[in-house]
């Protein structure tokens, strides 16, 4: 123990650990789930999906068609929160293929690498059974259960997955020797095939411009922006548009995250972007990077980058490997016999997910943990200016206002203009004539100014609708008419 203390002090004196580059604060690990009973995931953990603060589902994957399972946590800490009991290690959960079951219909979880959670606590898994199903589970009070929904994509190979606020599902498809795809599927409430014939037909298919493994995908809450990572080339792509009308690559969004180093083992290692998630409301894009499926020197190169969602500029960096070394004096040591509460050891972060309070959840694939990170300062809010919101630089607002949409009547695109006299959290939503919510167009913070929003109503039926703007304590509404 004394030698470890001297190593730790030496590392503090001679190692620069940069946990925050531009945010006003620092990232700290609130807890890492134990790598032991009774709170461990039990085996390799490539992904996590967060439902609410400290309530999440971890994906366990031993690969090679065995050891695929979901492990739920509620009110989690480092030592408590895991739902149910799983035998630890390769002979336990590491060899268990969790079934999805609905009546007489059964599909085994097979080589799943990613999962996502929806607002209603549904868990979506990108599965690699012969039909390449998207399997749906439900977080219950004491465990994770099968839901009565699945969709067969019949794709080449699924990897990453995300769900937007309307329940639409985004998955990446990896094609050997060819550019991969992102497919967008209608949600459970909009496609009866999820609970019936299970035959999936994509709303949109995006083919990226380069070959390589697409290991991460995330979409904005309204589906107007999609980000996808190409691990092989270290690239992150950005697409704007809609599930109804299609997507176009934003070529000005140029991001390459490809770190390299010669590890202390003498091994040259190179990392790339894997899992990612955009934070609802604040629009911070978190991208996990690591040397995938590599032990040894790979433990020295794993980070989470926080990007500007409009430009791809790196705003901040969380260095998991440096944190591990600072806490333990080693890249291959959890500390306290695997029970040290604020470090996972074995940096191998393949995932990033947010809760609704700004907590960041990552994993240690080879440390068999889920880690929660908190920020000491105030995370910034970044308006998504690359979508259908345009700020006028020539009009100075005199106060809060909502203008009549133009043109009106319209088919199917119209423009809504609004002004803010001060910085505000803005919500712009569309309702039917009976007051039922049809679409949430904007839910984000905006600076003082005048803005134009381009509304594409191609998915709606003809009729009269009400659009409502809320900014702080102020509210305004107007009618508009869609004629097809």
Residues 6+ apart with CB under 8 A from 211: 177, 178, 179, 180, 232
Select from 81, 84, 93 the least CA-distant residue to 50: 81
For position 444, what pLDDT does the model report? Answer: 66
Examine the domain organization and report whether 347 and 427 are in the same domain: no
Q: Answer yes or no: is 438 within a domain.
A: yes
- Asked if 355 contacts 48 with a C-beta cutoff of 8 angstroms, the reply is no
Tell how far CA 8 is from the center of its chain.
34
* The domain boundary residue, chosen from 375, 402, 425: 375
* Same structural domain, 300 and 445: no
456-467: buried (b, 16+ CB within 10 Å) or exposed (e) per residue? bbeebeeeebbb
d(CA 463, CA 354): 37
Q: b vs e for 113-122, b when ≥16 Cβ sit within 10 Å of the residue's Cβ? A: bbbbbbeebb
Structure tokens at 73: 């946590």
Query: For residue 463, what are its two tokens?
Result: 């009729």
Number of residues in the chain: 484
Helix (H), strand (E) at residue 210: strand 204-211
Q: What are phi and psi of 262, to 5 degrees?
A: -100, 115
383 located within any domain: no
Residues 368 and 464 in one domain: no
* Angle at 66 (CA atoms; ends 160, 291), nearest 5 degrees: 45
Residue 425 lies in a domain: yes
Q: Are 375 and 358 in contact (CB under 8 A)?
A: yes
Residue 286, strand partner residues: 277, 306
User: Where does a domain end: 342, 375, 408?
Assistant: 375
Q: What is the predicted pLDDT for the residue at 222?
A: 86
Determine, yes or no, domain membership for 382: no
Q: Are residues 342 and 468 in the same domain?
A: no
Q: Which of 408, 403, 422 is nearest to 476 (CA)?
A: 403
pTM: 0.80
Q: Which domain holds residue 365?
A: 2-375
Question: Torsion-angle region of residue 400: left (phi > 0), alpha (psi -120 to 50) or beta?
Answer: beta
**Domain contains 29:** yes
CATH label of the domain that carries residue 346: 2.120.10.30
Q: Is residue 381 part of a domain?
A: no
Instruction: Let me know whether 25 and 137 are in one domain.
Output: yes
**Cα dihedral sign, 455-457-463-467:** negative
**Structural domains in the chain (count):** 2
* CATH number assigned to the domain comprising residue 403: 2.60.40.1930
Core vs surface per residue 191-214: b (16+ CB within 10 A) or e: bebbeeebebebbbebebeeebbb
So what's the pLDDT on residue 22? 65
Whole-number pLDDT of residue 256: 97
**In a domain? residue 245:** yes
Q: At what angle do helices 2-14 and 320-328 cross, to 10 degrees?
A: 140
Assess whether 464 and 344 both reside in one domain. no
Whether residue 411 is found in the same domain as residue 365: no
Shared domain check, 237 and 185 = yes
Q: What is the pLDDT of residue 445?
A: 67
405 and 358 fall within a common domain: no
Last residue of a domain, one of 314, 346, 375: 375
**Whether residue 198 is found in the same domain as residue 261:** yes
Tens-digit pLDDT profile for the chain (484 aa)? 323 333 333 333 333 344 444 688 999 999 999 998 899 999 999 999 999 999 999 999 987 778 899 999 999 999 999 998 888 999 899 999 999 999 999 999 999 999 999 988 999 999 999 999 999 999 998 999 999 999 999 999 999 999 999 899 999 999 999 999 999 999 999 999 999 999 989 999 999 999 999 999 999 998 989 999 999 999 999 999 888 888 989 888 889 999 999 999 999 999 999 999 999 989 999 999 999 999 999 999 999 999 999 889 899 999 999 999 999 999 999 988 878 899 999 999 999 999 999 999 999 999 999 999 999 999 988 878 777 677 777 777 889 999 999 999 999 889 999 999 988 878 888 999 999 988 878 766 677 889 888 888 877 899 999 999 999 899 999 999 999 9
Q: Which residues contact 141 (CB under 8 A, 6 or more apart)?
A: none
Q: Do 306 and 394 share a domain, yes or no? A: no
Structural domain contains residue 247: yes
Q: Are 402 and 371 contained in the same domain? A: no
């Amino acid at each position: 123990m004394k030698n470890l203390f001297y190593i730790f002090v030496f590392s503090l004196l001679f190692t620069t650990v940069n946990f925050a580059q531009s945010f006003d604060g620092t990232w700290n690990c609130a807890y890492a789930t134990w790598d032991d009973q009774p709170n461990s995931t039990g085996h390799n953990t490539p992904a996590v999906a967060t439902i609410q603060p400290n309530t999440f589902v971890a994906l366990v994957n031993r690969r090679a068609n065995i050891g695929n399972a979901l492990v739920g946590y509620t009110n989690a800490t480092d030592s408590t929160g895991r739902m149910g009991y799983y035998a630890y290690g390769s002979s336990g959960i590491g060899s268990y293929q969790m079934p999805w079951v609905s009546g007489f219909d059964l599909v085994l979880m097979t080589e799943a690498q990613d999962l996502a959670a929806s607002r209603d606590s549904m868990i979506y898994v990108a599965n690699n059974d012969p039909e390449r199903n998207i399997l749906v589970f439900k977080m219950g009070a004491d465990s994770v259960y099968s839901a009565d929904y699945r969709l067969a994509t019949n794709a080449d190979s699924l990897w990453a997955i995300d769900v937007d606020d309307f329940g639409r599902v985004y998955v990446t498809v990896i094609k050997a020797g060819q550019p991969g795809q992102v497919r967008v599927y209608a949600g459970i409430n909009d496609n009866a095939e999820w609970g019936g014939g299970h035959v999936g037909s994509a709303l949109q298919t995006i083919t990226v411009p380069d070959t390589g493994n697409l290991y991460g995908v995330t979409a904005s809450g309204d589906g107007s922006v999609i980000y996808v990572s190409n691990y092989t080339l270290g690239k992150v792509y950005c697409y704007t548009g809609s599930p109804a009308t299609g997507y176009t690559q934003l070529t000005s969004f140029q991001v390459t995250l490809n770190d390299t180093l010669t590890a202390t083992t003498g091994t040259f290692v190179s990392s790339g972007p894997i899992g990612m998630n955009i934070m609802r409301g604040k629009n911070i894009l978190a991208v996990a990077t690591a040397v995938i499926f590599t032990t040894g020197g790979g433990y020295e190169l794993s980070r989470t980058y926080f990007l500007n969602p409009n430009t791809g500029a790196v705003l901040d960096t969380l260095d998991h490997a440096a944190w591990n070394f600072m806490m333990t004096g080693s890249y291959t040591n959890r500390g306290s016999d695997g029970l040290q509460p604020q470090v996972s050891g074995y940096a191998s972060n393949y995932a990033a997910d947010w809760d609704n309070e700004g907590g960041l959840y990552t994993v240690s694939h080879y440390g068999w943990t889920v880690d929660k990170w908190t920020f000491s300062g105030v995370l910034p809010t970044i308006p998504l200016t690359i979508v259908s919101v345009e700020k006028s630089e020539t009009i100075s607002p005199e106060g809060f206002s909502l203008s009549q949409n133009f043109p009106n009547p319209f088919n199917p695109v119209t423009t809504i203009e609004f002004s803010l006299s001060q910085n505000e959290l803005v919500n712009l939503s569309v309702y039917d004539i009976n007051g039922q919510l049809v679409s949430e167009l904007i839910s984000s913070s905006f600076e003082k100014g005048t803005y134009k929003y381009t509304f594409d109503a191609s998915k709606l039926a003809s009729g009269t609708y009400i659009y409502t703007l809320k900014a702080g304590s102020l509210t305004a509404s107007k009618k508009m008419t869609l004629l097809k």
